[in-house]
């Protein structure tokens, strides 16, 4: 099956991303026009709702949450929608304009070839991309790379990447067990590997933010590190989830 023939739901969580949304929609329509674009508006306080309404097309669905749940809760709402509405594949795509729509085909390729259940777009597999970030972000990425390899025996170079693709099996699992707190990506990697899902990375580039504001500043970075490190260890200690098909 060609990637653009798949029954695909692209989940875009967004909080105060009104400046980024029009360009994201334009790019997605260019490269993925046959897919469902699911925007999960996490109780934005800017003009996100109005922008989404003005950009409405037949393949756009908007879920507006009544209260701000954070990235984990917003993503899980999107995953549940995709699972309950019978989509075979899902892609998580950030609402800040940093992910590139033309690379969706690349992260879907291992899934369509039945080589993986969860595919992560890594910014570090291709050194030519030259990904840059703050010192604290780079430190956090290295710490989670070390911890997750220590706890699972698998090297994942970009545990914090939000650019991810799911097959139906992984989608059903994530819809129920996706970590619903602020910074869920490293814990999700642990949960999938602990429950014997096939996890693979593919190289992707990342653009600069086209709008909005990152939720992690220098002060919050320390809190982020402590909270996510704790969550990663708890996920590693958690028994395999009973009743899952992979167990």
Instruction: Give one DSSP letter per residue of 184-217, joined into a string.
Output: -HHHHHHHHHHTT--EEEEE---PPP-SS--S--
Q: pLDDT tens per residue, the chain (247 residues)?
A: 455 556 999 999 999 999 999 999 999 999 999 999 999 999 999 999 999 999 989 999 999 999 999 999 999 999 999 999 999 999 999 999 999 999 999 999 999 999 999 999 998 888 776 556 666 777 778 888 998 899 899 999 999 999 999 999 999 999 999 997 777 999 999 999 999 999 999 999 988 765 555 555 556 767 777 777 878 777 787 778 855 655 4
In a domain, 243, yes or no: no
- Residue pair 121/99 in contact (Cβ under 8 Å)? The answer is yes
For 38, counting Cβ atoms within 10 Å of its Cβ (0-12 exposed, 13-18 middle, 19+ buried), the class is buried
Choose among 89, 150, 183, 162: nearest CA to 120. 162
Q: Would you state the structure tokens that stand for residue 40, as one six-digit string?
A: 């999960």
Structural domain harbouring 133: 3-237
Domain count, the chain: 1
In a domain, 88, yes or no: yes
CATH number of domain containing 47: 3.90.550.10
In a domain, 145, yes or no: yes
In a domain, 20, yes or no: yes
In a domain, 208, yes or no: yes
Q: Would you state the structure tokens that stand for residue 102, as one six-digit string?
A: 């033309």
In a domain, 242, yes or no: no
- For the entire predicted model, the pTM comes to 0.88
Assign residue 216 a region (left: φ > 0; alpha: ψ between -120 and 50; beta: otherwise): beta
In a domain, 246, yes or no: no
Output the CA–CA distances (angstroms, integers) from residue 46 to 71, 208, 211, in the order listed: 17, 21, 12
- Residue pair 13/42 in contact (Cβ under 8 Å)? The answer is yes
In a domain, 18, yes or no: yes
């Amino acid at each position: 099956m060609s990637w653009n023939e798949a029954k695909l739901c692209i989940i875009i969580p967004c909080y105060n991303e009104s400046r980024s949304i029009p360009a994201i929609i334009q790019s997605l329509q260019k490269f993925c026009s046959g897919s469902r674009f699911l925007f999960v508006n996490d109780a934005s306080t800017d003009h996100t709702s109005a922008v989404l309404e003005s950009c409405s097309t037949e393949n756009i669905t908007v879920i507006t949450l009544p209260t701000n749940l954070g990235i984990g809760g917003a993503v899980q709402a999107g995953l549940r929608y995709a699972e309950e509405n019978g989509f075979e594949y899902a892609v998580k795509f950030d609402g800040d304009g940093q992910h590139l729509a033309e690379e969706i085909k690349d992260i879907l390729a291992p899934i369509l070839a039945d080589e993986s259940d969860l595919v992560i777009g890594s910014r570090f597999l291709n050194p030519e991309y030259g990904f840059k970030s703050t010192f604290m972000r780079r430190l956090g990425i290295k710490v989670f790379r070390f911890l997750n390899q220590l706890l699972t025996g698998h090297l994942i170079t970009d545990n914090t990447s939000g650019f991810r693709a799911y097959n139906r099996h992984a989608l059903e699992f994530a819809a129920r067990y996706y970590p619903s707190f602020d910074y869920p990506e490293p814990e999700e990697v642990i949960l999938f590997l602990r429950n014997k899902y096939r996890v693979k990375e593919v190289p992707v580039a990342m653009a600069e933010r086209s709008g909005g504001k990152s939720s992690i500043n220098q002060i919050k970075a320390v809190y982020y590190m402590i909270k996510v490190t704790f969550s990663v260890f708890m996920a590693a200690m958690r028994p395999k989830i009973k009743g899952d098909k992979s167990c």
